[in-house]
Structures are given as C-alpha cells and as structure tokens.
C-alpha cells in the first residue's frame, strides 16, 4: 500500500484517469458510520473568583491528551505507527475531538432534566427537627407568671400533589422531546465532524498533489533551461532565449515553495479537524490511486425526500417544536387548581420547665403531633401573569414552527446546490483529464520540435506553462469532485448508526433517561 507521512514528502502525481464508484462508497462509509470512541476522562473544575488557573496544572490534572507545542505526549487514541485511512481518521476524531464530548454531555444533561421533571409525580418526604430554650410570661394579679425551659420537635412531613390538570404531564412531555432533540444534535455532530475530517483530508491530498505537480514543472523548466544553454553554446540560441528559460525556471521554483507552504497549512487544518496537535506525525494512506465516483446514483428529488425524513438537525428542530407545544399546555394548565395531600407526624418534648413564682417542682412533658390535610390551591387572580405566560409560550411555539420551515427550505437549497456542484464536478473532471492529456502531448511534441530546431523557445515555454496549468486543473477537479460528493452526503443527512454509553463503554447514538 502506498503511504505518506503527514510531515514528509508529497504523494505521487495525480495526473491519471479515474472511474468506478469505490471512492463514493468510501465517502459514504466515512460520513455515515459512527465508530465507537471511548469517552474522555476527568472532571473539569470550575474556578472561583479568587482562584488563578494555570494552563499547565489544568493540562496535567484534567486532560493528559492535550499536548504542548513541543513533542506530543503519548495518547491512548493516537497511534503514530498506524497507517490511517479516511474511516480511521474519522474514528480518531470522534475519540479525541472535544466537540464530541460536548454534545454527549449535553444529551446527558437533557436526560437528567427529564428525570427531574418526572420526579414531580412522586411525593416528597422531609425530616425536620429543632430545639429551643423558651421563656414565657403570663400576667397575674400583682405580678406575672413566668415559665422557662427547653423544648424540641422532630417530625416527618409528607407532601404529594394528587391532581394538577396536566401540569406535570406537559412538563415531562417537554423534557422527553428536548432529550430527543439533544440526541439528534449528538448524531448531527458526528456527521459534522466526519464531514470536516473528510474535507480537510481531501484538501491535504490536493495540496500534496500540487507539490508533486510543481516539482515536475520545476524539473521540466530546469531541463528546458539546460537545453537552451546548450544551444546557446552551439550558437543556435540567443541570450534573450536563455533569459526567458531561466525566468521560467525561477518562477517554477517559486511555485514549488508556495505549494509546499500550502501543505503546511492544509496539515494544520487537518489536525484541527481531528482535534489533535499538529505536533503529531500521522501516517496516511494515499488515495490518489483509488477511483472517483463516476455518476450520481439518485435523483435530486429522491435525495431531498430522504433528507427531510432523516436529517438529525431537522428532527431535532421538530422535537423542539413538540416541546414548545407541551410548554403551551403547561401554561394553560396553570389556570386550574392543584389538589395535594399533606401530612405530618412527629413528637414534641418540653423539659425542665420552671415557673416564677416558684411552684412545687419543675416538670417535663411529651406529646405526639400529627396532622393530615387535603389541600386545594387555586390562584384566582395574579395580575394577568398566567395570560401573558400563555401568550409567550404560544409565540415561542409559532417561532419554532417558522424555524422548522426555514430549515426545511435551507435543506432543500443545500441539497440542490450540492447536487448541481457534484454533477458539474463530474463533467469538469472529464474535461480536465482531456486537457491534461492534450497538454502532455502538446508539450512532448513542442519539446521534440525545439530539439530539432523547428520551434522557438517561446513556443516551448508556452507549452510548458500550459502543461503546468493543466496539471493544477486536474488536481483541482479531483479535489472539487471529492469535496462536492462529501458535501452532498453531509447535507442529505445520512443517519448515524448507534455507537456511546457511559465511561468505560462505547459511544451510544442515543442517551436514555
């Protein structure tokens, strides 16, 4: 298998034809399949106002996967000896990228909120105890009767809402829908990370290919300059001819250095999309030999229909709309009473009670305390707060409905645009290959003609420029086709497979309460 190291020499030239659908299958596999990343470890502290946060201390205590600008630390999710293909890179990104943990924790928080809402169906039991020293004074003829001592009370207090006209049910329904929305957002985040990795990987491949093309152009320019130099010594060329050839050699050298600089930038973008430090030297497979997608298998109308059924972010927006419908039900239920049961059982104790004027002796007392009540609570007037709460909930529901429709239109637009871009890229790819073939034949013929003295140096250098442009055009057409195909898969919203549970387990595509 051909391979290259992320920070070493570029891959072989890409100037050749491609056919078949293996690349399309690879893109679909990458963007649609969610591997099983292990969850990150560590609890992140929240600094107080008086604390100072040291990045090195934070790094050492909470995230050993982070690296400095120097040599990278060893990370369990990164193997610098492994040759990564595109699915393996996506797997690595889902292991290491912080955004994966963010979306996972948000889904867990939504599940916890749902359980909090469900707790309102259960009674609450409160233990209470207090003690006091007391002094009381009761007026009597001629003086006052004063009692002093201490007392204590220990009790259990039970409160249970029996009926609330749908408040709790609406609250739980809203929490369940928002958990679904968080799960769908988690799925979409996987797809987003996979898309970013694929796009940056294709851009990096194109940058490497342009280095190879620039190297070939430089070698051709050097060969042409040497040929003109030889002819000048024989008296068959002029000094201006040599200067033009040397000028093209210098320009091709500049283009080569510029292409190498683009590789560095593309490498940084790739590591950023992976969520790792650019200090890592990852070995990547060479995809230049694999065939590109040859045609679009489905019509744009069918892709749109499928996307409107399975795009996770659209389904998340729909779940939020249903949650806001539940919020409206809860706001309307506030106009009705609540029926609850309340009871208390406990023991009250008085000890070492003395009186003045003095009695015969001090005394103590002990008594059981118990109550049971059926409460009906009904707010009759609240300054129109509930009316405005209903209006607010209905307005948010209408806004959510409009947002859902806006997203639906955006999805349709994005799919039509990505479909047209992919179709155009397929056609441009064929013309780019034809252009490259014609430029190679033209340059070879012009070079041979110049060797025999039938062409001028200007014609030779012009053919060399045309060949260099044709090489870049072929590389750009390949990269554009790959990116367009990946974009079409991304905007169509291929559903993620189940893949993360909790610490120590695999990622699950759904968080259950």
Predicted confidence at residue 361, as pLDDT, reads: 65
Contacts of 354 (CB under 8 A, 6+ apart): 147, 148, 149, 362
Question: Distance (Å, rounded) from C-alpha 325 to C-alpha 258?
Answer: 57
Residue-by-residue DSSP string for 445-463: HHHHHHHTTSS-HHHHHHH
Predicted confidence at residue 53, as pLDDT, reads: 45
pLDDT in tens, 385-441: 999 999 999 999 999 999 999 999 999 999 999 999 999 999 999 999 999 999 999
Looking at residue 8, what DSSP letter applies? S
User: Of the ranges 29-43, 296-310, 345-359, which is most confident?
Assistant: 296-310
- The residue-averaged pLDDT of 155-176 equals 94
- The residue-averaged pLDDT of 107-113 equals 94
* pLDDT tier, 145 (very low <50, low <70, confident <90, very high otherwise): confident
Three-class DSSP category at 370: strand
Residue 23 has pLDDT above 60, yes or no: no
Q: Which of 166-180, 189-203, 229-243 has the lowest mean pLDDT?
A: 229-243
Report whether 494 contacts 194 (CB < 8 A). Answer: no
Report whether 368 contacts 344 (CB < 8 A). Answer: no
Report whether 416 contacts 300 (CB < 8 A). Answer: yes
- The residue-averaged pLDDT of 374-385 equals 94
- The 3-state secondary structure of 215-230 reads HHHHHHHHHHHHHHHH
Question: Distance (Å, rounded) from C-alpha 346 to C-alpha 370?
Answer: 6
Question: Distance (Å, rounded) from C-alpha 186 to C-alpha 166?
Answer: 30
Q: Residue 425: left if φ>0, alpha if ψ -120 to 50, beta else—which one?
A: alpha
- The residue-averaged pLDDT of 366-377 equals 91
CA 368, 371, 377: angle at the middle one, nearest 5?
Answer: 160
- The residue-averaged pLDDT of 234-255 equals 91
Quote the pTM value.
0.76
Mean pLDDT, rounded, of the chain: 82
Predicted confidence at residue 45, as pLDDT, reads: 37
For residue 477, what are the CA distances in angstroms to 16, 421, 442?
Answer: 12, 11, 21
Q: Which residues pair with 137 in a beta bridge?
A: 146
pLDDT in tens, 438-489: 999 999 999 999 988 888 999 999 999 999 999 999 999 999 999 999 999 9
Q: Which domains does the chain have, with CATH numbers?
A: 3-297+335-383 (1.20.1600.10)
Residue 7 has pLDDT above 50, yes or no: no
Contacts of 275 (CB under 8 A, 6+ apart): 93, 96, 97, 98, 99, 100
* pLDDT tier, 82 (very low <50, low <70, confident <90, very high otherwise): confident
Question: Distance (Å, rounded) from C-alpha 246 to C-alpha 249?
Answer: 5
CA 233, 237, 239: angle at the middle one, nearest 5?
Answer: 85
* pLDDT tier, 297 (very low <50, low <70, confident <90, very high otherwise): confident
């Amino acid at each position: 298998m051909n391979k290259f190291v992320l920070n070493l020499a570029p891959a072989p030239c890409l100037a050749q034809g491609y056919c078949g659908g293996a690349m399309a299958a690879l893109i679909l596999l990458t963007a649609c399949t969610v591997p099983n990343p292990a969850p990150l470890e560590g609890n992140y502290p929240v600094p107080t106002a008086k604390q100072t946060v040291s990045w090195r201390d934070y790094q050492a205590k909470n995230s050993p996967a982070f690296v400095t600008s120097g040599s990278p630390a060893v990370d369990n999710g990164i193997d610098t000896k492994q040759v990564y293909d595109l699915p393996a890179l996506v797997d690595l990104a889902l292991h290491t990228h912080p955004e994966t943990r963010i979306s996972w924790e948000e889904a867990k928080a939504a599940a916890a909120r749902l359980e909090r809402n469900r707790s309102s169906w259960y009674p609450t039991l409160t233990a209470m105890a207090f003690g006091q020293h007391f002094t009381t004074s009761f007026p009597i003829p001629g003086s006052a009767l004063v009692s002093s001592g201490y007392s204590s009370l220990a009790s259990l207090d039970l409160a249970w809402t029996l009926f609330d006209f749908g408040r709790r049910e609406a609250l739980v329904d809203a929490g369940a829908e928002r958990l679904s929305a968080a799960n769908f957002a988690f799925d979409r985040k996987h797809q987003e990370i996979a898309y970013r990795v694929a796009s940056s990987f294709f851009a990096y491949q194109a940058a490497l290919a342009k280095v190879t093309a620039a190297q070939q152009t430089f070698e051709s320019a050097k060969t042409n300059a040497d040929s003109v130099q030889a002819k000048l010594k024989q008296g068959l060329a002029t000094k201006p001819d040599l200067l033009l050839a040397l000028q093209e050699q210098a320009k091709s050298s500049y283009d080569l250095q510029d292409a190498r600089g683009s590789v560095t930038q593309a490498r940084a973008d790739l590591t950023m999309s992976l969520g790792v430090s650019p200090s890592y030297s990852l070995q990547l497979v060479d995809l230049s030999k694999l065939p590109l997608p040859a045609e679009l298998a489905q019509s744009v109308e069918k892709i749109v229909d499928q996307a409107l059924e399975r795009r996770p972010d659209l389904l998340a927006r729909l779940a939020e709309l249903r949650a806001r419908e539940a919020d409206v039900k809860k706001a309307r239920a506030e106009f009705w009473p609540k029926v609850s049961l309340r009871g208390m059982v406990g023991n009250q104790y008085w000890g070492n009670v003395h009186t003045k004027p003095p009695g015969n002796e001090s005394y103590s007392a002990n008594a059981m305390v118990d109550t049971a009540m059926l409460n009906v609570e009904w707010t009759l007037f609240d300054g129109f707060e509930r009316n405005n709460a209903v209006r607010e909930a209905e307005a948010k529901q209408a806004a959510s409905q409009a947002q859902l429709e806006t997203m639906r239109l955006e999805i349709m637009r994005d799919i039509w645009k990505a479909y047209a871009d992919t179709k155009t890229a397929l056609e441009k790819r064929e013309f780019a290959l034809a252009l490259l073939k014609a430029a190679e034949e033209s340059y070879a013929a012009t070079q041979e003609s110049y060797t025999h003295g039938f062409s001028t140096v200007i014609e030779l250098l012009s053919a060399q420029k045309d060949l260099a442009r044709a090489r870049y055009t072929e590389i750009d057409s390949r990269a554009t086709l790959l990116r367009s195909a990946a974009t079409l898969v991304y905007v169509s919203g291929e559903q993620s497979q189940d893949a993360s549970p909790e610490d120590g387990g695999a990622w699950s595509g759904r968080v259950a309460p």
